[in-house]
Structure 1
């Protein structure tokens, strides 16, 4: 958690500086390239590195084979990305982003190279070492990007900075991993890894298509400037996801994997995690929505104000995504990856026409609102039905999320009331922020026994 908070605080400061330096147009060009990068990273190493986290035996048995598969596939993926960059740039509404895509895409090869060391650190619960590598990655990227942006390099400054940070972090990840980086190939283990990883890779493709469909459609239908507004709001909405959800996801799958022999204990730990994560994230996510106008104006300036209408809906959507990610991890641990794939396919099929219609007949506000509606009315019920099939009823989930929802509602009420009383953005943010912290503190204190239980499991 400390690692992620430090990382996100630095990322926020960096993002504010770059957004003010570059403006919506250049930021939108980088956003186009970033969408493409995230697409290929979603299936880059065919999901085989996740096998290290849940491997029932010694992960060192499979690490060399995983490393070989990861690097080979990442090089093939980058080759395809390089050739397809002009087509992808045109499809996303910004043909001028081709070179930015190719430069930023080199991070794909770096990702494949460090996939095994990162998984080994996760398996060993070495978040201390991962903290150092993550901070070096972020600050190297930041300093390079800001320096190049001030020199007038536009969107390319972000691409080069991102690549520089990835390379710096890669050196540390490899040095910090329990056994470094070793290559090898065992055909029998490779077959087992691909049997496990290919469904996850297919699922990851669909997950990316679903979670990034908004950026693709917004960029293609509304242009790179609108995409810049959208991505800025999305980055703010992702704050609770990266600060609270990612640290839990970094350790929870490995902790649950230790309980595979005791499904009842695994379910109890899962439900405890749902309640704890909801208590922290729901007030924070809904705070972003309720104070969206003040937050965008205060941090980024009036030129970015259209992003506030997007954040209004992406805040609550982030809360749902956090819970969905927890569901996703549970099904991965119990090796029921078909559920994950099915849910993501349904999500994509329902969201695509709804989102396109919202962009064509509406705008940014409608595009963000329709995403929240689909997640709430279609995907949440589908996940709950799937959980019931594996022995987790909807009622225990609802019981654990009830108090967090009440706390989040109180935060929203206070934020809206203060915004009506004063037009000073800093006052609105301060009062609403303190209210959210109090709500999180009270909810977290109620669940202090859950923290002890989860620490025992880990």
Structure 2
């Protein structure tokens, strides 16, 4: 994939890091299309139940990831000879945590269902199965290894094969007219085949997962380093997903309509993740050898992400109603207004993804936690106020404000303020105009 030239970027290196993005985009687009079929098939009520379960489990799944991905990458780059120990320890930590999350998710849902003013149909079994699907994500440590070697293309290939199989299975279920629980079982199957695929590709690359080993000292070290990121990841999940959970009090239909808008709005969030993940090793290397180049790369990264998200935000704002009607017919009326608001959260998600890598590279993991905690707290408080008044519209506004606060919280901290100013300059296209007039 060839990117347009951007002044200040090492074009050859940048394209090397991002050449797999086209395949990643294919996978995400396929997932979006299948998701649209599922939404139209289930309708607002059942689609709302499914997304409520997914959102509840996503919050717990953030704990199960243990914030280890970035540290796995860093540790393997630092100690390549200890690969099997690092991966084995990380895998066992995740397996244990994710296994414990299954009964916890079911218990949390069961208790909340009992005390709810608008309980609806019980979904305990569905929540348990969705938590089981998250259990298989423990094997994403293999993905982290390939990222450390700048070889994510192998993982993308596995993901796309699994997505094609998954899409076929789900479309067959829809064609047969089977109930919601079968869609949930298909999601469990998705998790299983992806984990299996990751193991197979790792083995095919000449490695052996059975040589992995668990080291208690390594486990303590990894958990000590990642503990702020565990809490940070939970806070990210809360401010991204708590709106769906809290909206359940307004009924499954309200959740379904809002989810239809939010899923479209969030469908492109893989772009900053793909870009930032790809360039993270280059940023780390630049920081070691040339601080000025390191900061220049960060600034160019902020610019690139803004160049991508601003046109999309403007376009979606003016066409949201048409898009919702085109994709969902008349089943999700009201989702257009929510989409036109929610889409702007992406601007801050994009910039937040990039600045998170800066915080990690500098060892500012506590600041990463504080800013996401601030976003989560603001989202919860705004949802408590806005959802009873405006339902899904209120949830969209709360998410937008929370994302803004989370991203630019670093302006409040003297040692990170310069990065916040760099992001603001990118957001308001100041650096873009500076580059234009320098020419």
TM-score, shorter chain, exceeding 0.5: yes
SS in 2 for 1:184: coil
Higher relative contact order (CA 8 A, sep 6+): 2
**1:233: Cα distance to partner?**
0.7
Paired positions, count: 406
Report the CA distance between 1:391 and its aligned residue.
6.7
Give the corresponding residue for 1:105: 131
Please state whether the residue corresponding to 2:283 is helix, strand or coil.
helix
Q: Provide closer, same or farther for how the CA distance between residues 405 and 28 of structure 1 changes in structure 2, counting only shifts above 3 A.
A: farther
Q: 1:43 and 2:52 equivalent? A: no
Q: What does 1:64-213 align with in structure 2 at a 5 Å threshold?
A: 64-89=88-113, 93-112=119-138, 114-177=139-202, 179-182=207-210, 183-213=212-242
Q: Could you say what secondary structure the match of 2:344 adopts?
A: helix
Q: Name the counterpart of 1:456.
A: none
CA gap of 1:381–1:74, structure 2 versus 1, over 3 A, is: closer
Shift of 1:203: 1.5
How far apart are the structure 1 equivalents of 2:294 and 2:429? 23
Partner of residue 286, structure 2: 259
Give the whole-Å Cα distance in 2 for the aligned partners of 1:292 and 1:235: 13
CA–CA separation in structure 2 for the residues paired with 1:158 and 1:205: 26
**Within 2, Cα distance between the matches of 1:72 and 1:172?**
21
The match for 2:333 is: 305
Within the candidate set 401, 405, 418, 1:373 is matched to 401
Q: Per-residue deviation at 1:94? A: 4.2
Instruction: Write out the 4+ residue segments of structure 1 that deviate beyond 6 Å after TM superposition.
Output: 404-407
Q: How does 1:231-270 map to 2 (within 5 A)?
A: 231-242=259-270, 244-261=271-288, 262-270=290-298
How far has the Cα of 1:157 moved from its partner? 2.8
Say if 1:219 and 1:227, in contact at 8 Å, map to a contact too: yes
Q: What runs of 5+ residues in structure 2 fail to find an aligned partner? A: 1-20
Report the CA distance between 1:406 and its aligned residue.
Answer: 9.7
Output one character per residue of 1:249-285: Cα deviation in whole Å (capped at 9) or x when no partner. Answer: 3223333222342443322211111101111122113
Q: How far apart in 2 are the matches of 1:146 and 1:87?
A: 34
Instruction: Provide, for residues 290-328 of structure 1, a one-character-per-residue CA deviation record: whole Å limited to 9, x for no partner.
Output: 210010011110121211111011111122111112112
Match of 2:44 among 16, 21, 24: 24
SS in 2 for 1:229: helix
Q: Which SS does the other structure have where 1:44 is aligned?
A: helix
The change in CA–CA distance for 1:181 and 1:93 in structure 2 (over 3 A counts) is farther
Post-superposition shift, 1:380? 4.3
- What's the TM-score, normalizing by structure 1? 0.82
- In the alignment, structure 1 segments of 5+ residues that lack a partner are 408-444, 447-458
Q: Secondary structure at the match of 2:302?
A: helix
Task: Output one character per residue of 1:400-423: Cα deviation in whole Å (capped at 9) or x when no partner.
Answer: 33339999xxxxxxxxxxxxxxxx
| Comparing 286-295 and 177-186, the one that deviates more | 177-186
2:349 pairs, out of 311, 315, 321, with 321
Q: TM-score, normalised by structure 2?
A: 0.85
Aligned with 2:63: secondary structure? coil
Answer whether contact 1:86 1:95 (CA < 8 A) is retained. Answer: no
